[in-house]
Chains A and B, each alone.
Chain A
Amino acid sequence: MKLENLSAVALGKKIAAREISCREATAYFLQRSQELDPQVGAYISLLDESAVLAEAQRVDQHLSGKVHNFLAKQSPLTGVPVAIKDVLCLEGWPTTCGSRMLKEYRPPYTATAVDRLQQAGLVVLGKTNMDEFAMGSSTENSALGVTRNPWALDRTPGGSSGGSAAVLAAGMSPLAIGSDTGGSVRQPAAFCGVCGLKPTYGLISRWGLVAYASSLDQVGPMAHHVEDVAALLQIMAGHDPRDSTSLNVALPDYVQQLDQPLDGLRVGIVSEHLHHGSLDSQIVSAVQQACRLLQELGARLVEIHLPHSAHSVAAYYVIAPCEASSNLARYEAAHYGFRAPKNSDHQSVTIRDAAGRQSASNLGSNEPSPLERMMIASRSQGLGDEVKRRILLGTFALSAGYADAYYKQALRVRRLIAQDYQSAFQQVDVLLGPVAPSPAYVLGEKVDDPVQMYLGDLFTVEANLVGLPALSLPAGMSNSGLPLAIQLQAPQLQESRLLATAHQLQRAGLFEPQIAPLG
């Protein structure tokens, strides 16, 4: 049986019914991953095979009633394998964040989101590739290798959760977890023809999610089927006392509510998005196709304006780097992470120059101490170019004399964007539009031009700035065989409305889930 063609919920049913064991399913996807990943490069690390299979066997024992109370809760996904973006901590296994800095790092604890998956009997297959510290939109900023789009191997899978999206597209795992700070779940899902959800900020705990920009980061479930995304969210969502920003609210049953009627649903089309000059015409068509289907399902379309939309990328590329510059200060090679070998600072002249100017007014030595030399060399050699650029940008935007013009002004514009959304959601229940301006582009095309790369995030960053749930849904194929996608957004905590809309669009034939045909 070709398990990759089943939905995860369907696979979970077979496992629960003992038609297939969790061990068999896990071994199947492990083997598929080992066979196909050399072409794709989606994983940073597959977990140790014997450990993974032993874990699967424990789930089987639980399901057969031989071991009791092993799982905290059973789910429609119990026994189904899952791939995890390498930004989420898994105790004892490498968690690299795609960085040389953390190449050898093994966290002493497990992220809440991952722990909840394991507690529900999902089996972690491996850790997926990503842009270093989730900074990027193409997975090309990984220090640990390139990930290719399974639909066109010369193209990017998107990013930063490119590995997770590619794993799904190639059918190497039925489920994957990403993280989304400015579109990092939704854009790679769009590029790879899978479904990805960025939940309401605070819905899934950030405990154990290595921070890029703390006020924007969210863990997000990814799968081919909306139903699978809903089931994954059900497991991971919910209050966590270890995350102060975690929401403490009652949660609906996302899976049960997938079929809530869409009759009378008010769907907003954002003019500033749909008529944006950079938007590919095939994506406009995909959005229009979704509009027609929604109308058939009883929804009503409303044109919406988000007047501050044009400034969202600017606000994002101030706020995110500012937070990142501080979040990444912990990589100073004192307590963990890469430490540059002694005397490896070949640019020591420059260091002395830089530090010397800085401390020119100091008494005593102007020379950086051996400690400072170690920190500077380790950070400079351990972090990649894009990460360094964002740290520099954020450091600058927070520095004395510039914080008001950049950081604080960006926070004010963020408030204006939030107010735009607030008024929009007084008129409509969901917003429909594009995810990215274009389908997947060729590897190397934008990696050297940060501004071009950043502009690709213009439709996705708003949901992060405002904390809204947003979902990327496959919506067809381009003429050249690349996946197209639409984005749905809803007010905070309206995931069930969002998922129901997407689920029924998928059922109505917007796009049938497909595995990319790899040789």
Chain B
Amino acid sequence: MSAVPYRLVVGLEVHVQLATNTKLFCSCSTKFGAPPNTQVCPVCLAQPGALPVLNARAVELAIRTGLALNCRIDPVTKWDRKNYFYPDLPKGYQISQFDRPICGEGYLQFPDPDSPGDLLTVRLIRAHLEEDAGKSLHDESSGTADSRIDLNRAGTPLLEIVSYPDISSPAAAKAYLTDLRLLLIYLGVSDCNMQEGSLRADANVNLHIPQADGQTVATPIVELKNLNSFRAVERAVAYEAQRQYDHWQRTGQTIHDAPKQTRGWDDNAGVTKAQREKEESADYRYFPDPDLVPLKVTADMLAQQRQLMGELPAAARTRLQNQFGLKAYDADVIVSQGRPVVQYYDALVGGGADARRASSWLQQDVLRTLKEHSWSIEQFPISSQRLGELLQAIDQGNLDNARARNVFQYLLEHDVSISQAIEALGIKQIDSSQLTDLCQLLLQENPQVVVQFREGNTKALGYLVGAAKKKDPNVDPKQVRELCEKLIQAM
């Protein structure tokens, strides 16, 4: 499949902010957007003498994630200090996990974007809990003004999910992140809001280049940072692959010639740029945090979190296909919208709506409306029960699709029943004798249509449908067409 003379090797490190009320080691709020330095206490300010106490909820969410990612979860986990200096790291160390992470090896399986219908498996090295740093605001223009430090974010619980370098295309990198994000949202462990920094990804990238002699050389590993969207990940990885290949062709430099380097992605320029390294990056002097004690993960804790996992995206995709006969594509669209949308769909069909019609209306009308208004499905004003009734009215021939859309629009703005909406819109059911009278009148007034139809021009009936609509907007075009045909044949 490869059109390039190398194999791309990508591993991803994803930092996920866990959906807790409070920080990992103190009881300060983690709510986003508070005024600077208002969600702080002696612990997260690293005041002398302050001590950390572990948030039980963060542990639960980490375990739930680990289980969903098929991770090995050992009976004992512990906390370590990662030592380095930075002013938004007020203790001078970060509390993290070094040799006994809460989640061990696992894997994530997801649809292969480069080979539709197949699944890709990316193995995970580990997922560990750690605290976030604060925020430094630098003088970007001249670099001479003081930097400002806000510690609201310091101590926020993160789960760092580290993959093996199993990803071999930019599209696969993006697909991995997309699917991981969806899984995390289904699990309820994170809101995964990238704008607010709840989900951050770094990519480790290098190339394996086959040589004429059968050997393979590897280019130096580059850690890509500042990847602010999944699209950015895809573009940055693609750019970096080409850059490394060019660089190798020019210099011949391999992984043995240069240490790991950090490059930042410039989204506007579409390039990666070398970043200055932290001086101590080579030596974090990890050791067990003496202020924290080990945690025993019991079978009960695992069972409880397993129970709270619920139906995961992969299972939901399969179920929608098997249970309702949806195509893989349609099932994927619905599942990708998140669990509440799947539940809405289940309720539509459960209430009696046709599964495919429900799928089509959900994807076209409902999702479009949500997007236009930036609503979540919970904010959508039409209940699944009411929309279900509307779809059944179409099934029963009481409304055509066009009229049903009018009713749909009306229901968005009015909390009324389907029949009230129909009445308010002046839609009337026309009885068949009235319709027969109307059609007979039209045929008398337009003999040329009769002639044309008899000559084989079936499209000529369209004129009659239009004319009928003009006389009475409530007529069903389909019924007019059918009736006129019958009347002509009977003439």
Contact = CB atoms under 8 A, between A and B. Distances in A.
Direct contact of A and B (CB under 8 A): yes
Interface of A: 88-89, 95, 97, 102, 105, 107-109, 111, 206-211, 213-215, 241-245, 322-323, 325-326, 328-332, 334-336, 355, 358-359, 361-365, 371, 375, 395, 398-400, 403, 407
A329 B49 contact: no
Contact of A363 (B47, B151, B276): B276
B343 to A, nearest CB: 39
Contact of B259 (A241, A329, A361, A375): A361
B142 to A, nearest CB: 12
B380 interface: no
A334 B149 contact: yes
Contacts of B49: 88-89, 95, 107, 111, 206-211
Nearest to A334: B87
26 contacts: A88-B49, A89-B47, A89-B48, A89-B49, A102-B48, A107-B49, A109-B42, A208-B50, A242-B53, A243-B53, A244-B51, A245-B290, A322-B287, A323-B287, A323-B290, A325-B285, A326-B287, A329-B93, A334-B87, A335-B151, A355-B279, A359-B277, A359-B279, A363-B277, A398-B287, A403-B285
Contact of B53 (A105, A208, A244): A244
A178 to B, nearest CB: 15
Contacts of B83: 325-326, 329, 398
Interface string B87-122: 100111100000000000000000000000000000
A206 B51 contact: yes
Given A102-B48, A326-B81, A395 B285 contact: yes
Nearest to B136: A371
Given A244-B53, A245-B293, A330 B276 contact: no
A400 to B, nearest CB: 5
B92 A107 contact: no
A214 B285 contact: no
B223 to A, nearest CB: 14
Contact of B42 (A108, A215, A364, A399): A108
A398 B290 CA distance: 14
Nearest to B275: A363
Contacts of A207: 49-51
Contacts of A361: 259, 277
Contacts of B50: 109, 207-208
Contacts of A403: 285, 287
Q: Which of A102, A206, A330, A359 has the most CB of B within 10 A?
A: A330
Contacts of B46: 330, 335
B282 to A, nearest CB: 7
A276 to B, nearest CB: 29
Given A329-B93, A332-B85, A242 B51 contact: yes
A14 to B, nearest CB: 34
A355 B280 CA distance: 10
Given A244-B54, A245-B291, A329 B92 contact: yes
A332 B290 contact: no
A108 B46 CA distance: 12
A97 B48 contact: yes
B309 interface: no
Given A244-B293, A326-B81, A330-B90, A407 B287 contact: yes
Contacts of B277: 359, 361-363
**What are the 6 A-B residue pairs with the smallest beta carbon separation, nearest first?**
A329-B92, A215-B290, A214-B290, A398-B285, A334-B87, A210-B48
Contacts of A336: 47-48
Contacts of A211: 48-49, 291
A37 B281 CA distance: 49
Nearest to A398: B285
A355 B87 CA distance: 18
Interface string B52-85: 1110000000000000000000000000010101
Task: Describe A's contact surface by its main secondary structure.
Answer: loop
B424 interface: no
Interface in B136-166: 147, 149, 151
B274 interface: yes
A332 B84 CA distance: 11
B45 interface: yes
Nearest to B91: A330
A241 B26 CA distance: 11
Contacts of B48: 89, 95, 97, 102, 105, 107, 210-211, 330, 336
Contacts of A359: 277, 279
Task: Describe B's contact surface by its main secondary structure.
Answer: loop
Given A108-B47, A210-B48, A330 B92 contact: yes
B479 to A, nearest CB: 75
A334 B90 contact: yes
Q: Which of B42, B51, B81 has the most CB of A within 10 A?
A: B51
Contact of A375 (B45, B52, B85): B85
Contact of B283 (A88, A355, A400): A400
Nearest to A202: B293
Given A206-B49, A245-B291, A335-B45, 10 more contacts: A102-B48, A208-B49, A243-B53, A245-B290, A323-B287, A323-B290, A359-B277, A361-B259, A400-B285, A403-B287
A362 B276 contact: yes
Given A107-B47, A207-B51, A329 B85 contact: yes
B339 to A, nearest CB: 35
Contacts of A395: 285
A368 B274 CA distance: 18
B292 interface: yes
B87 A332 contact: yes
Contacts of B85: 329, 332, 375
A332 B92 contact: yes
A326 B279 contact: no
A291 B93 CA distance: 48
Contacts of B275: 363
A193 B51 CA distance: 34
Contacts of B279: 355, 358-359, 362
Q: Which of B48, B51, B54, B287 has the most CB of A within 10 A?
A: B48
A108 B151 CA distance: 16
Contacts of A362: 276-277, 279
Nearest to A395: B285
A512 B12 CA distance: 70
A378 to B, nearest CB: 11
Interface string B27-58: 00000000000000010011111111110000
A326 B285 contact: yes
Contacts of A334: 87, 90, 149
Contacts of A399: 283, 285
Nearest to A211: B49
Q: Which of B46, B50, B83, B259 has the most CB of A within 10 A?
A: B50
A107 B87 CA distance: 19
A365 B143 CA distance: 14
A328 B81 CA distance: 13
A208 B54 CA distance: 18
Nearest to B273: A363
A415 to B, nearest CB: 14
A206 B53 CA distance: 12
Interface in B236-265: 259
A322 B289 CA distance: 11
Contact of B276 (A95, A206, A210, A365): A365
Contacts of B276: 362-365
Contacts of B290: 213-215, 245, 323
B10 to A, nearest CB: 23
Nearest to B81: A326
B51 A243 contact: yes
Contacts of B90: 330, 334-335
Contacts of B93: 326, 329
A206 B51 CA distance: 8
Nearest to A328: B92
A216 B78 CA distance: 19
Contacts of B293: 244-245
